[in-house]
Structure 1
Amino acid sequence: MTPPYEVYTPLLTHGWSHQVRTDGIQTFLASEGLGGVRHCYAMPSSSESAWRAWGGYPSEPHWSARFSSGTPTTLVAAFTASLISTEPLQRTVQDVPTQTRRALYIATPTGNQPHGTTPAALPPPAPASGPTR
């Protein structure tokens, strides 16, 4: 089983802030303030969300995700790793909320290859003709 620190260590190494409260909740916030992850590590009930993540300002998030205490920590760790990914995503201006455009990083595409595909391998060279030993 993956320990909880595997979920938030990548956030901390990428400059996210960390706040721990005495009621069993810790919060990690992106450096530009446009996202966060909250972990309830001292939960009174297993039916409550152990992890909550959001994008945008905390008061008005554009999206949110919740993970129960039964969610494998490995899955939550994969989710938080995707939050800090610097892999470019193709978006149009209409896909990005106006108030968050200032936080965008612009990257030049490296080619027209669809995401997730690899180039086909070249066939092996033909055997040389002539006598063999």
Structure 2
Amino acid sequence: MSLRTVWPFPFDEDWSLHQPQEESAYATSPCLRLWTRLTTEPAALGKGTWAIGANRAPFGQSAWKITFDATTPVGLLHDVHAELLDLHREDHSRNQDRLFDDPTPPHEGYAPLFARCWSHDVKTDGAQTFLAPDGLAGIRHRYAARYPDRSAWRAWGGYPNEPHWQAHFSFGTPTTLVAVLTASLISTEPLHRTVQDVPLHTRHHLYVATATTKQPPSHAPAASLPVAPSSGRTR
């Protein structure tokens, strides 16, 4: 699987792609304020991290950060990165700064869950948790920044005490990116999967649908590091 399945960036135009080592890859925006990377652990199957960060100044301290386990479904990863690219382009064309001052209210990150009958539990410690009806996915939102070093949003797939994958969004992350993950997570669009792609303890929860003749490449399962492309900006 190619990195371009996850990263829909225009590498033949102005985005840069770097692969300094076999187990890592790194992409940066033309303004050098956005970066995203993949690091893997070759000796441990399925181990590694996808990360997205935004700096107010090139090479400065990150204003916010998102991390995903390497086992996160590629469809989710692609949708978040595609929205990241859209926000970057919109900020550039309209002279806005939604990547750092997104006006999207927090409820847009979880409101769609109610339509899918997700449960909702609010704690007095400033956190609320949403669980899928089958218990195999969840989202936790810290609506009070009492602990800014913790994640503002956490999403996972699998059972809460033993998730197959997790995603963490720091405080300051645009709510728009959270909303895209939520929409992708609850999507009912059928996906192509082999038996090996589905964790053993979740297979009895599958719903079988008739295969379509055309399937977008973004709906592959977890990603693996591709062979490095030729030097320079490529697509």
Please indicate the TM-score interval, normalised by the length of the shorter structure. Answer: 0.7 to 0.9
1:56 correspondence with 2:158: yes
Per-residue CA deviation, residues 61-91 of structure 1 (Å, 9 max, x unaligned), is 0000000111100000000111100111111
Shift of 1:110: 2.3
1:115 correspondence with 2:216: yes
Distance 1:48 1:42 in 2: 11
Distance 1:106 1:12 in 2: 24
Residue identity opposite 1:41 in structure 2:
Y
1:11 correspondence with 2:113: yes
1:74 correspondence with 2:179: no
Shift of 1:114: 4.0
Shift of 1:48: 2.1
Aligned-residue CA RMSD in angstroms? 1.2
Q: Partner residue of 2:203? A: 101
C-alpha contact 2:153 2:168 (8 A) present in aligned 1? yes
Q: Partner residue of 2:125? A: 23
Distance 2:133 2:215 in 1: 31
Q: Partner residue of 2:45? A: none
Identity %, equivalent residues:
65
TM-score by length of 1: 0.82
Shift of 1:26: 0.2
Q: Partner residue of 1:127? A: none
Residue identity opposite 1:115 in structure 2:
P
What are the ranges of 5 or more consecutive residues in structure 2 without an aligned counterpart?
A: 1-102, 218-235
Q: Partner residue of 1:122? A: none
Residue identity opposite 1:26 in structure 2:
Q
Indicate the structure whose relative CO is greater, using CA pairs within 8 Å and at least 6 residues apart. 2
C-alpha contact 2:126 2:146 (8 A) present in aligned 1? no
Shift of 1:109: 1.3
- Find the structure with the greater CA-based Rg: 1
Shift of 1:46: 3.0
Structure 1 segments, 4+ long, off by >6 Å, are none
What are the ranges of 5 or more consecutive residues in structure 1 without an aligned counterpart?
A: 117-133
C-alpha contact 2:131 2:139 (8 A) present in aligned 1? yes
Shift of 1:12: 1.1
Q: Partner residue of 1:39? A: 141
Shift of 1:44: 1.9
Residue identity opposite 2:116 in structure 1:
H
